[in-house]
Amino acid sequence: MNKMRNKFIYAVKFTNVLKYMTALVELSKMTKAPDVAGNFPEPILPKSYNPLIVKSAKKVLSLTYNLFVMFLLIGIPILMLIFSEINYYDNPVNSGRTLLVDDQENWYELSNSTYYLTENTTLLYGDIVTFNYFGEIDEVIYSDTHCELDTTDEYGYVESGDCWTTYYTYYTFEFFNQTLETNSLPKFYFCHKTLCEIKFSVINTNGVPLVSIIQANEVNS
């Protein structure tokens, strides 16, 4: 009797286990995870999205980047070469001198509000000189001719470019034993054969010194 009872209990337990396992299988089917390897839905893009514009923008950015790289590789060395060939010592340096030359050709340089005798009697770029002048004012005419480049027509004939000549006048006067030139005639034209105190600045020392008249006053003798 006890054996039959035990068999019945085991059968009930086994049946319960089968039911439990069956329930687990059904639950696993209901909660099955989605297939992550499947295809995702297409993204939702804004209405303003235009693939052609995007591609064009990418091309522009790529071109800009390439040009920038080319400039770094080619442009910078060329600029360095150009600037390295500039001789800055060719540019005139302002002397900063203020000079007074008396009638005996003694040169005095201003320093700390006082004029001191100087032995450097060569005109330098930037000099400001005051002296008394009596003599003639003459004129000298210079000219520059410029021509356009020759051109070739569709038949191979070469046509010469036009040329033109520009004339300009400078005025000369004597600074002791040296001739000076200037284009500042309106400021001292009245000094022709008249004693004047002239103040000028030196603006070019190549060839005949070129000066700019700062001030001219007639001196009453």
Query: Looking at residue 90, what is its pLDDT?
Result: 55
Domain assignment present for residue 201? The answer is yes
Counting the structural domains of the chain, the total is: 1
47 within a domain of the structure (yes/no): no
Does residue 180 sit within a domain?
yes
In a domain, 64, yes or no: no
* Of the listed ranges 39-43, 63-67, 111-115, 175-179, the one predicted with least confidence: 39-43
> Tell me: the pLDDT tens digits for 42-61?
666 565 555 666 566 677 77
Q: Give 93-122 pLDDT, tens digit per residue.
A: 888 999 999 999 999 999 999 999 999 999
Is residue 211 assigned to a domain? yes
Q: Distances in Å between the alpha carbon of 12 and those of 15, 16, 25, 181?
A: 5, 6, 20, 133
pTM: 0.54
Alpha-carbon separation of residue 215 from 41, 88, 184 (angstroms): 89, 32, 10
Q: Answer yes or no: is 102 within a domain.
A: yes
pLDDT range class, residue 171, cuts 50, 70, 90: very high
Residue 132 sits in which domain range? Answer: 98-218
CB 127 within 8 A of CB 93: no
- Residue 66 inside a domain? The answer is no
- The whole-number pLDDT of residue 89 equals 46
Q: Is residue 14 part of a domain?
A: no
The per-residue pLDDT of the chain, averaged, comes to 79
- The confidence score (pLDDT) of residue 150 equals 86
Q: Render pLDDT for 124-158 as a digit per residue (tens, 0 to 9).
A: 999 999 999 999 999 999 999 999 888 888 888 88
Give the pLDDT confidence score for residue 117 in this predicted structure. 96
